[in-house]
Amino acid sequence: MERFRQPERFVAWLPFATLLQKEVLRFLRVSFQTLLAPIVTASLYLFVFGATLGERISVLEGFSYAQFVIPGLILMGVISNSFANTSSSLFISRYLGNIVDLLVTPISAPQFILAYTLAAMLRGLLVGTAVLIISTFFADLPWQHPAAALAMAALASFLFAQFGLVAAIHANTFDALSMFNNFLILPLIYLGGVFYPVSILPPFWEGLSRFNPLLYLIDGFRQAVLGVGDVPLHMAFLVSFLMAAILFAWAAFLIARGYKLRL
Amino acid sequence: MRNLSLTVQPGEIFGLLGPNGAGKSTTINMISGVCRIDSGQVLIFGHDNRSERRLTRRLVGVMHQEIVTDNFFTIDRALRIHSGYYGVPRDADWCELLIERLGLGPHLHKSMNKLSGGLKRRFMVAKAMIHKPRLLILDEPTAGVDVELRRTLWDFVREINAEGVTVLLTTHYLEEAEQMCERIAIMNHGDLIALEKTQQLLARIEGRYLHVTLEQPLHEVPETLADLRPALRDNGSALRLVIDAEQGAGEVLRRLGDLGMTVRDIETSRPGLEEVFLHLTGARPDNGQAGGK
């Protein structure tokens, strides 16, 4: 049994790296569901709005409807997959009870959040990149501010990764978790200007839309790509950054306290 | 939990027993950090498990009572992951030893959802030990596992205990606790009701048992035998009597003969941990099991 007595070496970054690796492997193991399915869905949207209906619709002067809708579809893929990754992974761990495997280890709350978040961002950005590649078959985009577009996509995926963590902790059933997606995120996405600019709405509805936080992400990303939008770019970044900070603080508070994670 | 205070000595095998809902698993969860503690303190080898979280988590390996696995991964991958969670670079020799001793070799590349319950428990033992903890907590590790694994598991636990690893265990099987543990704590309804060396606990019930098999079943025990604390068993065809340490069995058999009973067979035994446990907790016998959450 001499093998037991070997001195231990603790590698401080290893718990975080392992959790990140595990989270990435988790979604790659079911990549048909986590990557391929959302890419197919986005491709169908592209086909419908890019190659068929799009030619008969014009919402933004100087751009085809396909050019208008593609940034929104890319960001929609980023948002929904970042959310889905953290929310499903953490909720299933809670549901099956294997969250205790993490609670008994030296992994700290910041490491926990960062690993879950980075894996979710990777999945969201992979889907977004795939949608972007497929979209080149339907329209050319001007990419006015590519760095700003990347920053906005990263911010959106970060923000929704945090929201996924919060939802996974608060939800007690699969039904409750799906309500976050079906009754909150999807309506906010669809009403946040993915398919139309809010400036074409009647004044009341346009004013109301400006309370939709998703508008700032979607419009900001579109503006970075096309160079035009309904909200000033700096305002879009500011609002999105504030939302991300609030959700990060919320998730960090819950996880550091072990709320609904510890017994 | 109410005013629980106990110390597990470094290097010992310590048993934590109690009926359902006694608080054994809660105690284990408090030590391992799964459970929040409202007040009080858990020290692990002198280190507070809240303020020195990172250090104390590495010192403890815990096998929980409920089978929890991550079905996305194979045993091999899951063991690598768990080693990494503790910040311990994979030790191929140690990993190989665990796999060999727990009989996981042929199943290394199977997904968790393809494993039987017994194999999952073996994996959970390996998972608890993968980072070479100084305190190994086993919460009913042998529940639902076959006799062979039970034997190999306890042999392995004794072996690593001999290397200085402290072991805290709960078990369904009191005879296992009797054989394995140097000291035993018994809990009931969140209270600690006994904490003694195993031999001292066993000595709590004085006397011996005389088990008598009768030719003719009895319907009720004659009152004149009340001093022997009789218990009828097997539909009246067996009788358990308690006799003093210095009292001879022959004298008791003569008394039975005087009452017209014909004895077919006799056997004597010392009270075991089961009797002590039942005596202390007031629990009802349940196939020799102490119960568990």
Rounded to whole angstroms, how far apart are CA atoms A140 and A148?
18
- Using the structure block, give the residue that is written with the tokens 């394995």: B180
Provide the greatest CA pair distance for chain A: 78
Give the Cα-Cα-Cα angle A32, A38, A43 (nearest 5 degrees).
115
CA dihedral B262→B266→B272→B278, nearest 10 degrees, is: -10
Q: Name the interface residues of B facing A (CB cutoff 8 Å).
A: 26, 29, 32-36, 53-55, 57-58, 60, 62, 64, 66, 68-70, 72-73, 77, 81-82, 84-89, 91, 93-94, 97, 127, 131-132, 159-160, 162-163, 165
For A29-85, write each residue's pLDDT tens digit: 999 999 999 999 988 988 888 777 777 777 777 888 899 999 999 999 999 999 999
Which among B135, B126, B117 is positioned nearest to B57, based on CA atoms?
B135
B226: DSSP letter: G
Model confidence band, residue A1 (pLDDT cutoffs 50, 70, 90): low
- Judge whether residue A184 has pLDDT over 60: yes
For B142-174, write each residue's pLDDT tens digit: 887 788 888 888 999 999 999 999 999 998 788
Segments of chain B assigned to CATH 3.40.50.300:
13-202
Nearest Cβ partner for B32 among A3, A104, A106:
A104
Q: ipTM strictly over 0.90?
A: no
Kindly list the domain boundaries of chain A, sorted by start residue. Answer: 33-52+63-257
pTM, full prediction: 0.85
- Judge whether residue B281 has pLDDT over 90: no
Q: Considering only alpha carbons, which residue of chain B is nearest residue A115?
A: B85
Give the Cα-Cα-Cα angle A178, A180, A182 (nearest 5 degrees).
65
Which among A180, A161, A170, A182 is positioned nearest to A86, based on CA atoms?
A161
Burial per residue of B121-155, b for 16 or more beta-carbon CB atoms within 10 angstroms, e otherwise: bbbbbbbbbbbbbbbbbbbbbbbebeeebbebbbe
Structure tokens at B60: 């403890």
Q: Does A9 touch chain B (CB under 8 A)?
A: yes
Burial per residue of A55-89, b for 16 or more beta-carbon CB atoms within 10 angstroms, e otherwise: eeeeebeebbbbbbbbbbbbbbbbbbbbbbbbbbb
Q: Is the Cβ–Cβ distance between B256 and B263 less than 8 Å? A: yes
Structure tokens at B40: 């009080």
Q: Specify the pLDDT at position A251.
A: 97
Q: Do B94 and A4 touch (CB under 8 A)?
A: yes
Strand-pair partners of B194: B186
Query: In Å, what is the CA distance from B243 to each residue of A256, B44, B213, B249?
Result: 59, 44, 16, 8
Which among B164, B155, B145, B153 is positioned nearest to B128, based on CA atoms?
B153
Mean pLDDT of chain B: 87
Nearest Cβ partner for B87 among A14, A98, A100:
A14
CA–CA min distance A28, chain B (Å): 10
Mean pLDDT, residues A94-119 taken together:
94
CATH classification for the domain delimited by B13-202, as one of 2.30.30.30, 3.30.420.40, 3.40.50.300, 3.30.420.10? 3.40.50.300
Q: Which residues contact B150 (CB under 8 A, 6 or more apart)?
A: B142, B176
Q: Does A256 touch chain B (CB under 8 A)?
A: no
Q: Specify the pLDDT at position A134.
A: 94
Q: How many CA atoms lie within 13 A of B230 on its CB side?
A: 20
Counting one residue from chain A and one from chain B, the pairs whose CB atoms sit within 8 A come to 107
Q: Residues of B with CB below 8 A from A4's CB?
A: 94, 132, 160, 163, 165
For the stretch A182-188, contacts whose Cβ atoms lie closer than 8 Å and that sit 24 or more positions apart, written own/partner, are A185/A79, A185/A80, A185/A83, A185/A160, A186/A80, A188/A212, A188/A213, A188/A214
Segments of chain B assigned to CATH 3.30.70.1560:
208-270
Q: Is the Cβ–Cβ distance between B134 and B166 less than 8 Å? A: yes
Residues in chain B: 293
Q: Write the class of the CATH domain B208-270.
A: alpha beta
Q: Do B87 and A98 touch (CB under 8 A)?
A: no
Residue with more model confidence, A166 or B145 = A166
Rounded to whole angstroms, how far apart are CA atoms B42 and B30?
8
Q: Which residues contact A57 (CB under 8 A, 6 or more apart)?
A: A49, A65
Which among A26, A114, A34 is positioned nearest to B70, based on CA atoms?
A26
Give residue A72's Cα distance to chain centre: 13
Query: What percent of chain A stands above pLDDT 70?
Result: 97
